[in-house]
Amino acid sequence: MRGIRCGVAGAMVLALGCLDPVGAADAGSAWAFQPPAPRNPRVPPPPPPPPGDPADPSNNPLPQGPTDPKNPGMTPTAAPVKYEVEFPGPYLKREQSKTHTFSARVDIVAWRERYPPPNYPPRYDTFDFDTLVVVFPLLEETAHARSVRSSWEGKLRIDGALADETVTVLTGYPLGTRLARLEAAQGRCNDVTLELSYDVQVWRHVFDEAGALRVAWPKLDWPDGVKDALEPQFWIDHATDPATGADTPYDMAAVKEALGRWLEGARLKNPRDVTPAALAKILLGKVAGEVQPSGDGLSYNTAGLVEGIELQGPPVTLGQRRGSEHDMAVLLTALYRAAGIPARVVIGVTRGGNGFAAGRRNRTRLRSWVEFALYEEPTTAGGKATLNWIPVDVAGLRRSSSRPPPIERPWKHFGVLEDADETVPFAVHFHPPTTVASYGSPGFWGWMMSPTLPQTARQSLQFQMAVAPVRGGEPPRDGRR
């Protein structure tokens, strides 16, 4: 994938092309979580019921331990203790901020016959719909970045004509994800375009590693919003089988075996024999020492562009000992979760480094890294708990050295994201965590259409990153709501 620099000064463009094979296979097939009928789009299962919903099994736990004599089979429970949580906590200090404008564009094009038979016009499909909804992630805050809510803007175009410019923000999804939703009424078209833009304040940061290494495991449960980072996730724990279209769990036996072996090598009988940050550092060193970065992880088309990210799954990355930086981040996240550390993959756009436009200045690329939760319970009655999401760049550590530094020394890519002030995160899911479909490789967006979803379509994405302008008379943008 090669980066494209747009003609506007200061703007960097990452163009992600669409699937473009020959003939009827010209379009990608839709995928998601549940096995479909033949050639129907694959759509993920419904999201979990909201907290408190009687349909949520977690609200009706199986009995454990002694039972309540007045209600046989039920366990007497005390109200859970919840602390007020301060975010960000004291172990990651933000400084030297910048504000960038992030823009994303998604183009979905109906199938067209690329090479028709001689003397025949090309065949093509259309999108016929009663309702159409397109969603794209809105990532409000990460370790080093915060989006400016008042700047969220979007447009939905049908065959180039504006259909909607009101962004409805959907909330309640795992890992703090919000979804921008735009929709169109009944119509027929050949292409649909989603445009989304917003300002993001980013910071460089300083990591107090010594202090973080002293933070113990929580005595009570992880707080709400953090527990999500221990739950199964699409493209980390399971994925669509390309042969059957079925949602298939990965065989994580090799991942669990590696975790046990690496714990034994570190002379640990249990993951909790060391603090969460110390365990995170140990596992980071193991992955960086054994897995070689390979490729950019993008799916290419015949025009040299890509349609999304190609992920091979943690067991394959571990077994082959190679993978893209996206694969390495997914593997490390799976290991952290298996060890009991809440963790998430963060995907963003960055300037600099080994980008898509080799040999050009101001190169830009897609980037993935890991954030794990560092949660400290209060030490005094009435005190606040604190939470930091700690960034970890496993591919960056491996690129800096094939052998990690001694564990007792601070590591450059542990707790510090290089070029953080030139990196804009935009997703913590490779596919929206709800019942929407997309086509080909995961590309962060998804849609719903009634009465039926198209069987095939071509998707392409384009990302832009530019320094946010400050207009005359306006104060500097600081990311406040």
**Which pLDDT value is given to residue 117?**
79
Q: Indicate if 171 and 234 belong to the same structural domain.
A: no
C-alpha torsion angle, residues 378, 381, 383, 386 (rounded to 10)? 10
d(CA 392, CA 344): 10
Based on its alpha-carbon atoms, the radius of gyration of the chain, rounded to whole angstroms, reads 23
Helix (H, G, I), strand (E, B) or coil at 210: helix
Q: What angle do CA 145, 357, 155 make, to 5 degrees?
A: 50
Q: Indicate if 256 and 346 belong to the same structural domain.
A: yes
In a domain, residue 63? The reply is no
Q: Indicate if 32 and 169 belong to the same structural domain.
A: yes
**Which pLDDT value is given to residue 355?**
39
Q: Indicate if 194 and 231 belong to the same structural domain.
A: no
Q: Which amino acid is at 330?
A: V
In a domain, residue 259? The reply is yes
d(CA 230, CA 222): 10
Q: Indicate if 211 and 158 belong to the same structural domain.
A: no
In a domain, residue 51? The reply is no
In a domain, residue 70? The reply is no
Q: Indicate if 134 and 254 belong to the same structural domain.
A: no
In a domain, residue 75? The reply is no
* Partners of 15 in beta bridges: 462
What is the domain count for the chain?
Answer: 2
Q: Indicate if 172 and 218 belong to the same structural domain.
A: no
* Element (DSSP H or E) covering residue 272: none
Q: Indicate if 411 and 351 belong to the same structural domain.
A: yes
Tokens 């980072």 belong to 229
Per-residue pLDDT of the chain (481 residues; tens, 9 = 90+): 333 223 223 333 444 333 332 233 334 444 443 323 323 344 444 444 444 433 333 333 322 333 333 333 333 444 456 788 999 999 999 998 999 999 999 999 988 777 777 877 777 789 999 999 999 999 999 999 999 999 999 999 999 999 999 999 999 999 989 999 999 999 999 999 999 999 999 999 999 999 999 999 999 999 988 999 999 999 999 998 877 778 899 999 999 999 999 999 999 999 999 999 999 999 999 999 999 999 888 887 555 666 889 999 999 999 999 999 999 999 999 999 999 999 999 999 987 544 343 333 445 688 999 999 999 999 888 889 999 999 999 999 999 887 888 888 899 899 999 889 999 999 999 999 999 999 888 999 999 999 999 988 888 888 888 887 755 445 455 444 4
Does residue 231 contact residue 175 with C-beta atoms inside 8 Å?
A: no
Q: Indicate if 247 and 282 belong to the same structural domain.
A: yes
Tokens 């703090």 belong to 176
Q: How far is CA 342 from the centre of its chain?
A: 14
Tokens 């366990």 belong to 75
Q: Indicate if 330 and 366 belong to the same structural domain.
A: yes
Answer with the one of 406, 426, 446 that is the final residue of a domain: 426
Q: Indicate if 350 and 447 belong to the same structural domain.
A: no
- Cβ neighbour number for residue 20 with a 10 Å cutoff: 18
Q: Looking at 252-303, which runs of residues are DSSP E strands?
A: 292-293, 298-300
Residue 178's domain comprises: 4-42+97-201+435-467
Q: What angle do CA 189, 193, 195 make, to 5 degrees?
A: 155
Q: Indicate if 181 and 234 belong to the same structural domain.
A: no
**Which pLDDT value is given to residue 129?**
95
In a domain, residue 474? The reply is no
